[in-house]
Amino acid sequence: MAQFVLTAIDGAVGIITLNRPAILNAWNSAMRGQLLAAFEAMEQDQAIRAIVLTGAGNRAFGAGQDLNETKTFDPDRAELWIGEWERLYGCIRGLSKPLVAALNGVAAGSAFQVALLADFRIGHAGVRMGQPEIDAGIASTTGPWIMREMIGLARTIDLTLSGRLMEAGECFAIGLINRIVAPQEVLPVAMALAGELSEKPPVAMRLNKARFREVTEPGFRDCLAAGVRAQRAAYATGEPARMMERFLAERAARKASASA
């Protein structure tokens, strides 16, 4: 099986790297499964006290969903897809150890959501983040839930309905990026922060994180139920497949024009 997710350990810090750089670390079902397994293994490893998540290459933390997968879905597969996100997001939310996202480039769609599920985010001035699912015909439910928790309803509506990506400065101003550093410093600074966090009292860390999960659990469960309803309704119309085909065709044309 291809290694879509790489893992390493540096002292008390576990490092997880999303590893599909040729397509901006976009994920499919196999990659999500590998990422889930990596998080579960690091949660169980008592020597690991903090985790850093980053992306391979210098263009993207993650582009989110690989549309070549979701364009083939029918309503039943779309419902199973929500279950895959439930398992991954539930695992991240259940971590007893602090998670730092080292944002080495764009974080879009579900990769943006995963970045927001981290406890801290370190980025550089070229980072862009947002929720562009609407442009590919995908209805958003998990994204609006976590965005509303962090930045309020007005900005959540803006990002969900416009599909725009925010520049790093805007992300920093509204609290979605904790620190902006030089591109080459993103991973070292994230590792240093994770190292500091790994030295915090582990019981207090676990209980604090459990409390954050507890107070946001009703919204999480609601967005998953809404996701099943919304994705079944959307895929029954055929609109997501049509929009994704158009999106992929336009992207291919832009790449061909740029290389001509």
Percent of the chain with pLDDT over 90: 90
40-44, 152-156, 178-182, 236-240: the lowest-pLDDT one: 236-240
Task: Name residue 62's beta-bridge partners.
Answer: 107
Look at residues 92, 109, 99 and name the one whose alpha carbon lies nearest to residue 36: 92
CATH of the domain at 149: 3.90.226.10
Run of H or E residues at 120: strand 120-123
pLDDT classification of 1: cutoffs 50, 70, 90: low
DSSP symbol at 219: H
Q: How many CB atoms lie within 10 A of CB 98?
A: 22
pLDDT of residue 200: 98
Tokens read off for 247: 């999106």
Residue range(s) defining the domain that contains residue 124: 5-185
Q: How many domains does the chain have?
A: 1
pLDDT classification of 112: cutoffs 50, 70, 90: very high
Residue 100, domain member (yes or no): yes
Residue 134, domain member (yes or no): yes
Q: How many CB atoms lie within 10 A of CB 67?
A: 24
| C-alpha to C-alpha distance for 213 and 90, rounded to whole angstroms | 9
| C-alpha to C-alpha distance for 107 and 63, rounded to whole angstroms | 6
Look at residues 65, 50, 192 and name the one whose alpha carbon lies nearest to residue 122: 192
Residue 255, domain member (yes or no): no
Residue 19, domain member (yes or no): yes
CA distances 215 to 86, 100, 125, 144, 212, Å, are 17, 21, 32, 17, 5
| C-alpha to C-alpha distance for 4 and 113, rounded to whole angstroms | 19
Residue 124, domain member (yes or no): yes
**pTM attached to this predicted model:** 0.95
Q: How many CB atoms lie within 10 A of CB 153?
A: 10
pLDDT classification of 123: cutoffs 50, 70, 90: very high
pLDDT at 219 over 90: yes
Give the three-state DSSP class for 104. coil
Residue 221, domain member (yes or no): no
Residue 56, domain member (yes or no): yes
Average pLDDT for 76-100 = 96
Across the chain, mean pLDDT equals 95
Strands (E), 11-78: 13-18, 50-55, 60-62
End-to-end C-alpha distance for the chain, whole angstroms: 34
Residue 54, domain member (yes or no): yes
Strands 13-18, 5-10: pairing is antiparallel
pLDDT at 259 over 80: no
Write out pLDDT tens, residues 126-137: 999 999 999 988
3-class secondary structure per residue, 156-179: HHHHHHHCCEEEHHHHHHCCCCCE
